[in-house]
Chains A and B, each alone.
Chain A
Amino acid sequence: MMTAVKSPVDIQNDIVTEFQSLTDWDARYKHIIGLGKQLPDFPEEHRTEQNQVKGCQSTVWMHAFLEGDAVVVQADSDAMIVRGLIALLLRVYAHQPPDVILATEPEFFHRLGMGDHISMQRSNGLFAMIKQIKLYAMVLKMQAQ
């Protein structure tokens, strides 16, 4: 059984500290792109139209399943910045129990002022991804009961 080592609150604090050490936006974007490159390969069998998350200019695929009491989320995008955002989201949300996922808001995003820099279109994509993660958590929780 997989148990989250850290709570989403601690993980979000880590992310904020990590980004605050990067002084300019070039460095922050490079970091996001770097995180995207390290994202684990998305299973090809799940790269289906059904698994596409609507609401982003890029194509985003997402898949999730339960491992013990934790939700495993896998996702990918054809845009690098979106891959990086996925990597950040998965750090916060993946491998957490459904109830924790449902109760967690991605406040690191706002604390970093990324809402000011990443335009609404992509914000919508980000919120669509979060909504999708929460939907998976809800469905998996119901299935487990």
Chain B
Amino acid sequence: MTVEAMTETDYPTSESFSRAFDPEVVRRDFPVLQQQVHGKPLVYLDNAATTQKPQAVIEGIRKFYAEDYGTVRRGVYELSARSTRMYEDAREKVASFLNAPNSQEVIFVRGTTEAINLVAFGYGRAFLKPGDEVIISAIEHHANIVPWQLACEATGATLKVIPCDDRGALIMAEYEKLLSSNTQLVAVNHVSNALGTVNPVKEIIDKAHAVGAVVLIDGAQSAPHMPVDVQALGCDFYTFSGHKIYAPTGIGVLYGKMDLLEKMAPFQSGGEMIETVTFEKTTFAKPPNKYEGGTPAIAQAIGLGYALDYVTGIGLDAIAAYEQELLEYATQRLLHDVPGLTIIGTAPEKAGLISFTLADAHPLDIGTLIDHEGIAIRTGHHCAQPVMKRFNVPATARASFAFYNTKEEVDKLVAGLHKVIEMVS
């Protein structure tokens, strides 16, 4: 079979998923959801940590390994050509998904953590100097705190933090006070993983640009849940993780504006990211190759392409609307029907998740006991210890939603919490 002979119907496309949205129907696309845990139907509510994989992704990867697998960008032979085409097609799909103007601005990385580290190293450490300031927010994941702390320590720059109010919304007036001609970089999440707050990133970006700073948006919790248009936002960098958007682990995306990607220092060096190498001097390949040294996660990238086909087939607008409805329903039911429950994070705009505590049960007790009802929720500090400190809780329980969750599952969560309360009292 030649590359040309491989028909479009061989692999899933976004058109093949296009249909009216019904959570009960889409659930059937996810084999793992069709099981019982501890004798009860699985209710999977840890989607902010990682999402389950649709059959199209699983089958697409199987088929790729079984029929087309080879290395990319190197081989002159048929399998390598096919794999390269599929890998680069996945990059095109990401560019289209983010509305990036140029697919060469899409760098494949392992995940959001690696993407932020890449920018903190290639831009932060390369260009920050004493007196410069980096701004993050009080509601960041550790992955968007620690790389900047290290970059600031290494360069003598200073880290500033936008505070949040008691609802978990950023205080924009305080952000404006932090901005100055010293601000070199602003790095904030689009949606908080610990609270669910949707940040006003467009406003944050515009204000940062007004003082000449570049902006990185951590989109780990937004890309799976809402349409994202990097041109409309105007961000300089945007990053998300594949495994949180129904794709495999080990693959993620850094979008960056070409002029920045060209001037930044390479993060990891090795094969395929070079132009010429002599022992005196190496010149680097153009982005994205400059940042993709070594053999990349080929099948994972292709799997990400299938996952994006799948979600765009359903439609991000439909996903966002349904998940908002689910979030609203869950918020009302938890607040009204579970005694002693406090929601941590009550910002006016939220997406995808509810962090909460119970008066009489530690989050660890909640998570352990509710697991026996077949319900998977996250407990702990969610890699956001400053957020836990801000809200004066050691940990929270967190239910996070995907479009395959249903109101019936929210009802099971409520019933499960009643059972927890009964067991601990």
Contacts and interface: CB of A to CB of B under 8 A. Distances in A.
Interface of A: 25-26, 29-30, 33, 56-59, 77-82, 117-119, 122
B364 A82 contact: yes
Contact of A57 (B361, B395, B423, B424): B395
B372 interface: yes
A25 B419 CA distance: 13
A122 B362 CA distance: 13
B74 interface: no
Given A57-B379, A58-B362, 5 more contacts: A29-B368, A29-B369, A77-B362, A79-B364, A80-B362
Interface string B360-387: 0111110011011000000110000000
Given A26-B372, A33-B423, A57-B380, A81 B395 contact: no
A119 B423 contact: no
Nearest to B361: A80
B372 A57 contact: no
Contacts of B38: 25
B75 interface: no
A55 B365 CA distance: 16
Q: Which 4 A-B pairs have the closest CB atoms?
A: A79-B362, A79-B364, A57-B364, A58-B364
Nearest to B369: A29
Contacts of A57: 363-364, 379-380, 395
A117 B423 CA distance: 17
A117 B371 CA distance: 9
A122 B363 CA distance: 12
A58 B367 CA distance: 12
A122 B423 contact: no
6 contacts: A25-B38, A25-B372, A29-B423, A30-B423, A58-B364, A81-B368
Nearest to A118: B368
A118 B423 CA distance: 16
Contacts of A59: 394
Nearest to B38: A25
B314 to A, nearest CB: 32
